[in-house]
């Protein structure tokens, strides 16, 4: 398992998580995780951070992990290398002091080139795996804000048009970007969970979402950040669209 390191200093590691890699174990599967990679390659980080305690009482280490990406989301993540940096980074995420930019392909042409989706998110009524920013969501509705801008548009046929967008989540809700674009009727391309009735497009075998850039002020006050190069499926999709080969 190769995980490219994008930046590293005495306090942080920023790396490019590949699509298909789970961040930490859930006690239900034995598939490889980011935690496995960290424990193998950085064993001195084992006790950094806070473990995940399962309902069974099992404690799973999460060395330096402050946030996570969905299994099928690729892109930049950060872990803290020591407890002081972990506590500081955790506070920065909670206080919305970490800048995150995601790139995604979404179905259709968005009505606005630059806009904010401000819709609280709760649990979906129909599927325990899902969240919802639409009517009928259950449980506590938590504030969720995502800014976006359209970088490029492809096609004018409503059935096959695609928008390439940059999204900046200002809150950190589970599945937030995927949920918000579904809520405005432009779900992320090939998202099997939130767009099951849409045709897969552009060759994506997973949802077309990539954590492009992450930055924050480090514990010493200096800016820390990195940009994650596009994976092969993103590069291929961009070439396909720019060459006018259609979106099927």
> Any idea which residues carry the catalytic annotation?
70
Question: In the chain, what's the furthest Cα-to-Cα distance?
Answer: 54
- The pair of structure tokens assigned to 211 is 């954590």
59: buried, middle or exposed (CB in 10 Å: 19+, 13-18, 0-12)?
Answer: exposed
User: Please, are residues 68 and 24 in contact by the beta-carbon 8 Å criterion?
Assistant: yes
At which residue do the structure tokens 């940096």 appear?
Answer: 85
> Beta 74-80 vs 209-217: how paired, if at all?
parallel
> Beta 74-80 vs 12-17: how paired, if at all?
antiparallel
CA 125, CA 138: separation in Å to the nearest integer? 6
In 20-73, the DSSP E strands lie at: 52-53, 59-60
User: Please, are residues 217 and 92 in contact by the beta-carbon 8 Å criterion?
Assistant: yes
Residue 157 backbone zone (phi > 0: left; psi -120 to 50: alpha; other: beta): beta
| DSSP H or E run through 157 | none
Euclidean distance between the first and the last CA atom of the chain, given in angstroms as a whole number:
32
CA 32, CA 45: separation in Å to the nearest integer? 18
User: Please, are residues 220 and 204 in contact by the beta-carbon 8 Å criterion?
Assistant: no
């Amino acid at each position: 398992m190769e995980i490219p390191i994008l930046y590293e200093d005495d306090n942080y590691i920023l790396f490019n998580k590949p699509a298909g890699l789970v961040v930490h174990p859930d006690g239900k599967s034995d598939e490889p995780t980011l935690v496995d990679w960290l424990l193998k390659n950085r064993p001195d980080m084992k006790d950094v951070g806070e473990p995940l305690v399962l309902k069974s009482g099992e404690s799973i280490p999460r060395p330096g992990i402050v946030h996570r990406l969905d299994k099928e989301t690729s892109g930049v993540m950060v872990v803290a290398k020591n407890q002081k940096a972990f506590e500081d980074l955790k506070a920065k995420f909670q206080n919305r002091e970490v800048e995150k930019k995601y790139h995604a392909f979404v179905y259709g042409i968005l009505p606005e080139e630059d806009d904010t989706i401000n819709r609280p998110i709760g649990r979906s009524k129909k599927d325990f795996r899902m969240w919802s920013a639409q009517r009928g969501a259950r449980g506590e509705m938590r504030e969720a804000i995502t800014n976006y801008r359209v970088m490029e548009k492809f096609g004018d046929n409503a059935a096959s048009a695609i928008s390439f967008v940059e999204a900046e989540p200002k809150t950190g809700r589970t599945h937030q970007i995927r949920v918000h674009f579904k809520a405005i009727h432009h779900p992320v391309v090939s998202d099997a969970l939130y767009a099951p009735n849409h045709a897969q497009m552009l060759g994506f075998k997973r949802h077309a979402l990539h954590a492009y850039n992450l930055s924050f002020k480090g514990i010493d006050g200096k800016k820390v950040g990195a940009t994650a190069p596009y994976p092969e499926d993103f590069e291929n999709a961009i070439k396909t669209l720019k060459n006018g080969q259609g979106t099927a």
